[in-house]
Amino acid sequence: MPTASAGLTITVNGDSLSVAAGTTALEVVESLGLAGRPIAVEVNEAVVPRARLAGCSLEDGARLEIVTLVGGG
Amino acid sequence: MTSPAAVFSVPSVPGSSPEAPLRVGGLTLQSRLVVGTGKYASYAEMARCLAASGTDCVTVAVRRERLVNAAGENILDHLDATRYTILPNTAGCFTAADAVRVARLGRELLRDLGNPGSEWVKLEVLGDTKTLLPDPVGTLEATERLVADGFAVLVYSSDDPIVARRLKQLGAASVMPAGSPIGSGQGILNANSLRICLEYLKDGDPEYPVIVDAGVGTASDVAAAMELGVDGVLLNTAIAHAADPLRMAVAMKAACEAGRQAFLAGRIPKKLYATASSPLEGTIAAPRPGP
Q: What does the pLDDT look like over B218-250, one tens digit per residue?
A: 999 999 999 999 999 999 999 999 999 999 999
B118 touches chain A (CB under 8 A): no
- Cβ burial, residue B282 (10 Å; 0-12/13-18/19+): exposed
B183 touches chain A (CB under 8 A): yes
B122 in catalytic set = yes
- CATH code matching the domain that covers B22-64+74-265, chosen among 3.40.50.700, 3.20.20.70, 1.10.10.10, 1.10.340.70: 3.20.20.70
Q: Which residues of B touch A65 (CB under 8 A)?
A: 64, 105
CA-to-CA distance for B70 and B88, rounded, in angstroms? 21
The model scores a pTM over 0.90: yes
Listed as own residue / partner, the contacts of B110-118 with beta carbons closer than 8 Å and 24 or more positions apart are B110/B86, B111/A49, B112/A38, B112/A40, B112/A50, B113/A38, B113/B76, B113/B81, B113/B86, B114/B81, B115/B81, B115/B85, B115/B86, B116/B27, B116/B85, B117/B27, B117/B57, B117/B85, B117/B86, B117/B87, B117/B88
Which of A39, A45, A49 lies at the smallest CB-CB distance from B101? A45
Q: Which residues of B touch A50 (CB under 8 A)?
A: 108, 112
Domain limits of chain A? 7-67
Which of A13, A69, A70 lies at the smallest CB-CB distance from B67? A13
* SS3 of residue B258 by DSSP: helix
Strand partners, A71: B60
* SS3 of residue B234 by DSSP: strand
Strand partners, A41: A48, A66
Q: Which residues of B touch A34 (CB under 8 A)?
A: 65, 67, 70
Q: What is the pLDDT of residue B67?
A: 72
pLDDT at B268 over 60: yes
Q: Which of B122, B168, B202, B253 is catalytic?
A: B122
Count of C-beta atoms within a 10 Å radius of residue A56:
19
How far does the CA of residue A62 sit from the closest CA of chain B (Å)? Answer: 16
How far does the CA of residue A33 sit from the closest CA of chain B (Å)? Answer: 7
CB B72 within 8 A of CB B274: no
CA-to-CA distance for B125 and B138, rounded, in angstroms? 6
CB distance A69–B43 less than 8 Å? no
CB B136 within 8 A of CB B158: yes
pLDDT at B11 over 70: no
Strands (E), chain B: 22-24, 27-29, 33-36, 57-64, 85-88, 120-123, 152-157, 174-177, 211-213, 232-235
Q: What does the pLDDT look like over B124-148, one tens digit per residue?
A: 999 999 999 999 999 999 999 999 9
Searching chain B, which residue's CA lies closest to the CA of residue A42? B105
Q: Does domain A7-67 have CATH number 1.10.1040.10?
A: no
CB distance A71–B39 less than 8 Å? yes
Which of A37, A42, A72 lies at the smallest CB-CB distance from B91? A72
Domain limits of chain B? 22-64+74-265
Q: What does the pLDDT look like over B54-109, one tens digit per residue?
A: 999 999 999 999 876 555 789 999 999 999 999 999 999 999 999 999 999 999 99
How far does the CA of residue A45 sit from the closest CA of chain B (Å)? Answer: 7
Q: What is the pLDDT of residue B72?
A: 74
Q: What is the pLDDT of residue A48?
A: 98
How far does the CA of residue A50 sit from the closest CA of chain B (Å)? Answer: 8
Q: What is the pLDDT of residue B4?
A: 44
ipTM, two decimals? 0.93
Q: What does the pLDDT look like over B158-205, one tens digit per residue?
A: 999 999 999 999 999 999 999 999 999 999 999 999 999 999 999 999
Interface residues of A toward B, Cβ cutoff 8 Å, are 12-15, 32-34, 37-40, 42, 45, 47, 49-50, 65-73
